[in-house]
């Protein structure tokens, strides 16, 4: 049955409240400024200086419920409607995440006489439940995979994916490969789904080990016209969350493309959909190509990856969301044909080498010099940057770890991939660890580059196994790190020549043993020490590295000749902000070159003594919230047993016992927010010598924290 779209609102939008924050709020505000629509931002306490707050015409602070975190400020529909009324807004845009797919919020907005920039509450409700969405899709003739109750799963159904009925983004999912683990996996998914979405309901569906995640962008007006604005491929994922997205989908046979577009239009028409939305499908990868697609879910909002569609169509999707909400029809003649190719990379504050663990801290520098536009569709080949952070921001664990989206648009796929990988490689990202190096290596990987000709090479397992180990390697190798350390040492020496009070007549850098070299010690983020040595004779620097000659050195740049090749290294230093590894408390140093970025920390030659740490104490690997304590004081535990669980940056992390022993103390409780390094548990080990080795960085102990056990691959 086809539903009639809702009637058009009474008039145009004049003032829009953006019920979101960060990058997507800035994106919406940018389009509103172009259209002449006034904007209202909302924010949690402590975000008064956030970029989206400063860029809006008006801003209101939201309250945080007692005992809850900043994210909860954005989850109260009534508070957001009250903010819209208080500010004089006549419309609300939910962005993505938070309440963007909450039918109750949509009803609260329209019930208050405001314009909801999105589909009807009924459409949101039908697609918000994955099980109901499957039924609606099946009735509309869209191919759908079966949904099973966990109690009905049998051996012949394995493997299956346990999924939350509500929500998404990889939360509430567990891959089950044997019946013995089904009950525990389903219960873990229920617990996570209840925490994330307020609904513990889960179901199971067949799990496809290798598939292509392809989605269709839909745009529908209030007059019954539905456009399928091409498709996007989002197969490169980690933990069921997208990392790289592109449009059009490479190597997709035309018959499959047309079938996907038709299915998306039929589904949107069946529920009377209006505005921008996305129908997501899984296309199985077979031995000889791609199989028949099946429907996964529909996102009744703007997608994170919408910029790639904007690049290839030339449309501003946020603008069309507003125009459709005002009742404007889509132009006659159908959607524009895609032109060229666009690829988006999600830049996350996380370390792929340590199970995607979130990284926090002060963002000393955030700069993507190759970017030619921000928050707006590109008018030609180039690089677009949509970001929610700026230089000087502190990255915490309250919100999603995505720092920015970097999008490249080119005349073809090869052009776009080359532009994007170069833009990421040339970005200056200092102070917080990111997945940048993995993104660059993935974009340059032969299997990814050849996906247009060999579509089976790109699938949802692309970032797993041995390939993940390969892709997660730093761009800079050991030889580059040693050169970077030398450049940092030379720059530091040159900086000291121009500063500091010295006795009259004694030049900076003077020493009473001219034959002795200048020694500098640095550590890498993983705790490896690099020592450099050079002599300064009559103004010339002579490094003790074979094949290396110093051509010039200044406080912020060193130019070296390496085996006859000229290499330039730009050096950035920061003031010390926390104690570093191995007793270092010197400043961080970031060295940029064409060989790859290198982060170092200066080792203080006279470090302060460190406080004694109980060898049985397990510190928090990051700031976060304790969601569950799974053991009790006095309990005997085995190696690898889960002691407690934490949530940080929308991910669940398990704190496990590094060795067998007895729980002596549990100084935290469920619901408690803890800083990095706070003691979570204290163990007495059965074998005193079997405890964890000292961590390379006291603020990031990686020996006892594991991410939630999500098998890589895609929900299906």
Q: List the alpha helices (DSSP H) in 472-508.
A: 478-497
Helix (H) / strand (E) element for 354: namely: none
According to DSSP, residue 675 is labeled -
Cβ atoms 406, 423 nearer than 8 A: yes
- Out of 69-73, 535-539, 623-627, the most confident range is 69-73
- Please write the tens of the pLDDT for every residue from 390-439: 999 999 988 989 999 999 999 999 999 999 999 999 999 999 999 999 99
Distance of alpha carbon 54 from alpha carbon 308, whole angstroms: 27
186 pLDDT more than 60: yes
Q: The tokens of 525 are what?
A: 């983020």
- Please write the tens of the pLDDT for every residue from 230-252: 999 999 999 889 999 999 999 99
- b/e string for 633-658 if b means 16 or more Cβ within 10 A? eeeebeeebbbbbbbbbbbbbbbbbb
Crossing angle of helices 103-111 and 77-87, rounded to 10°: 30
Band (pLDDT 50/70/90 cuts) for residue 8 is: low
Peptide bond into 448 cis (omega under 30): no
Per DSSP, the residues of 230-274 read: EEEEEEEEETTEEEEEEESPTT--HHHHHHHHHHHHHHHHHTT--
Q: pLDDT over 70 for what percent of the chain?
A: 88
280 pLDDT more than 90: yes
Q: Which of 113, 44, 58, 45 is nearest to 87 (CA)?
A: 58
Distance of alpha carbon 180 from alpha carbon 695, whole angstroms: 35
Q: List the alpha helices (DSSP H) in 303-402.
A: 306-313, 317-325
**What is the SS3 assignment for 336?**
coil
Q: The tokens of 99 are what?
A: 């309440």
Cβ atoms 579, 698 nearer than 8 A: yes
Poorest-pLDDT segment among 91-100, 141-150, 440-449, 700-709: 700-709
* Average pLDDT, integer, range 354-363: 90
- Please write the tens of the pLDDT for every residue from 204-213: 988 888 899 9
Which pTM value belongs to this model? 0.86
Cβ atoms 94, 19 nearer than 8 A: yes
Q: Which of 112, 19, 96 is nearest to 275 (CA)?
A: 96
Helix (H) / strand (E) element for 302: namely: none
- Please write the tens of the pLDDT for every residue from 634-644: 999 999 899 99
Distance of alpha carbon 520 from alpha carbon 605, whole angstroms: 9
Give the pLDDT confidence score for residue 153 in this predicted structure: 93
Taking residue 511's Cβ as centre, other Cβ atoms within 10 Å add up to: 12
Looking at every residue in the chain, the average pLDDT score rounds to 89
Distance of alpha carbon 39 from alpha carbon 32, whole angstroms: 7
- Please write the tens of the pLDDT for every residue from 143-177: 998 888 999 999 989 999 898 888 666 677 889 99
Q: List the alpha helices (DSSP H) in 283-410.
A: 306-313, 317-325
Give the pLDDT confidence score for residue 239 in this predicted structure: 83
Give the pLDDT confidence score for residue 72 in this predicted structure: 93
- Write the CATH number of the domain with boundaries 617-707: 2.40.50.100
According to DSSP, residue 511 is labeled -
- The residues spanned by each domain of the chain are 15-117, 210-471, 478-499+515-602, 617-707
Give the pLDDT confidence score for residue 707 in this predicted structure: 53
Give the pLDDT confidence score for residue 170 in this predicted structure: 67
Residue bearing tokens 């490094």: 543
Cβ atoms 189, 244 nearer than 8 A: no
Taking residue 587's Cβ as centre, other Cβ atoms within 10 Å add up to: 17
89 pLDDT more than 70: yes
Give the pLDDT confidence score for residue 695 in this predicted structure: 39
Band (pLDDT 50/70/90 cuts) for residue 509 is: low
Distance of alpha carbon 707 from alpha carbon 712, whole angstroms: 12
* Average pLDDT, integer, range 600-617: 76
What are the backbone dihedrals phi and psi of residue 188, each rounded to the nearest 5 degrees, phi first? -65, -40
Give the pLDDT confidence score for residue 548 in this predicted structure: 97
Give the pLDDT confidence score for residue 715 in this predicted structure: 32
Give the pLDDT confidence score for residue 584 in this predicted structure: 40
Helix (H) / strand (E) element for 475: namely: none
Q: Which of 526, 524, 522 is nearest to 491 (CA)?
A: 522
Residue bearing tokens 């953006």: 18
What is the fold, at CATH topology level, of the domain defined by 15-117?
A: Rossmann fold (3.40.50)
Distance of alpha carbon 226 from alpha carbon 220, whole angstroms: 4
Q: Give how far the C-alpha of residue 413 lies from the chain's centroid of Cα atoms, to the nearest Å.
A: 23
Q: How far is CA 43 from CA 22, 70, 71, 87, in A?
A: 10, 9, 10, 14
- Write the CATH number of the domain with boundaries 210-471: 3.30.470.20
Give the pLDDT confidence score for residue 711 in this predicted structure: 35
* Average pLDDT, integer, range 262-270: 97
């Amino acid at each position: 049955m086809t539903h009639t779209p809702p009637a058009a609102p009474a008039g145009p939008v004049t003032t829009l409240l953006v019920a979101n924050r960060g990058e997507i709020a800035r994106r919406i505000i940018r389009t509103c400024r172009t259209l002449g629509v006034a904007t209202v931002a909302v924010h949690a306490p402590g975000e008064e200086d956030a970029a989206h707050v400063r860029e809006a015409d008006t801003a209101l602070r939201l309250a945080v419920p007692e005992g809850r975190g900043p994210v909860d400020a954005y989850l109260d529909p009534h508070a957001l409607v009250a903010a819209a009324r208080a500010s004089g807004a006549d419309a609300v845009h939910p962005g993505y995440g938070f309440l963007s797919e909450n039918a109750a919020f949509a009803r609260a907005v329209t019930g208050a006489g405001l314009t909801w920039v999105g589909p009807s509450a009924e459409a949101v409700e039908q697609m918000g439940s994955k099980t109901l969405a499957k039924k609606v899709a099946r009735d509309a003739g869209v191919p759908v995979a079966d949904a099973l109750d966990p109690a009905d799963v049998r051996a012949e159904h394995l493997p299956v994916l346990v999924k939350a009925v509500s929500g998404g983004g990889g939360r509430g999912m567990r891959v089950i490969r044997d019946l013995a683990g089904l009950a525990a996996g389903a219960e873990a998914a229920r617990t996570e789904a209840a925490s994330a979405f307020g609904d513990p309901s889960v179901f199971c569906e067949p799990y496809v080990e290798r598939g292509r995640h392809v989605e269709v962008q839909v745009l529908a007006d209030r007059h019954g016209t539905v456009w399928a604005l091409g498709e996007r491929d989002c197969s490169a994922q980690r933990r069921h969350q997208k990392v790289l997205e592109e449009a059009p989908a490479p190597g997709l046979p035309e018959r499959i493309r047309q079938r996907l577009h038709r299915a998306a239009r039929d589904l949107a028409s069946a529920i009377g959909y209006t505005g921008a939305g996305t129908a997501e499908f899984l296309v199985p990868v077979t031995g000889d190509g791609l199989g028949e697609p099946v429907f996964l879910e529909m996102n009744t909002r703007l997608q994170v990856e919408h910029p790639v569609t904007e690049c290839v169509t030339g449309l501003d999707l946020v603008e069309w969301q507003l125009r459709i909400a005002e009742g404007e029809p889509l132009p006659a003649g159908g959607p524009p044909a895609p032109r060229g190719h666009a690829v988006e990379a999600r830049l996350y504050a996380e370390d792929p080498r340590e199970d995607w663990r979130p990284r926090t801290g002060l963002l000393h520098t955030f700069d993507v010099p190759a970017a030619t536009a921000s928050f707006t569709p590109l008018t030609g080949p180039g690089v677009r940057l949509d970001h929610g952070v700026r230089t000087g921001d502190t990255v915490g664990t309250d919100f999603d770890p995505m720092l920015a989206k970097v999008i490249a648009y080119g005349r073809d796929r090869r052009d776009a991939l080359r532009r994007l990988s170069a833009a990421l490689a040339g970005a200056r990202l200092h102070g917080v660890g990111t997945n940048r190096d993995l993104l660059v290596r993935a974009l340059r990987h032969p299997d990814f580059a050849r996906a247009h000709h060999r579509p089976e090479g790109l699938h949802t397992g692309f970032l797993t196994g041995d390939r993940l180990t390969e892709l997660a390697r730093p761009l800079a190798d050991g030889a580059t790190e040693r050169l970077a350390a030398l450049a940092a040492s030379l720059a530091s020496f040159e900086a000291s020549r121009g500063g500091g009070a010295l006795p009259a007549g004694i030049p900076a850098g003077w020493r009473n043993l001219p034959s002795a070299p200048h020694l500098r010690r640095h550590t890498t983020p993983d705790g490896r020490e690099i020592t450099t040595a050079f002599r300064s004779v009559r103004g010339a620097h002579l490094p003790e590295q074979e094949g290396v000659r110093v051509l010039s050195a200044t406080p912020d740049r060193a130019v070296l000749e390496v085996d006859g090749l000229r290499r330039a290294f730009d050096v950035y230093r920061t003031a010390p902000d926390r104690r570093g590894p191995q007793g270092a408390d010197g400043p961080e140093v970031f060295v940029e070159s064409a060989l790859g970025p290198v982060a170092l920390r200066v080792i203080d030659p006279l470090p302060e003594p460190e406080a004694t740490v109980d060898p049985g104490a397990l510190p928090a690997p990051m700031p976060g919230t304790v969601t569950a304590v799974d053991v009790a004081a006095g309990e005997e535990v085995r190696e690898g047993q889960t002691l407690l669980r934490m949530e940080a940056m929308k991910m669940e992390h398990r704190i496990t016992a590094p060795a067998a022993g007895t729980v002596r103390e549990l100084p935290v409780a469920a619901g408690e927010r803890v800083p990095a390094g706070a003691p979570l548990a204290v163990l007495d080990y059965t074998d005193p010598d079997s405890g964890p080795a000292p961590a390379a960085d006291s603020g990031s102990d990686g020996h006892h924290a594991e991410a939630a056990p999500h098998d890589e691959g895609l929900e299906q």
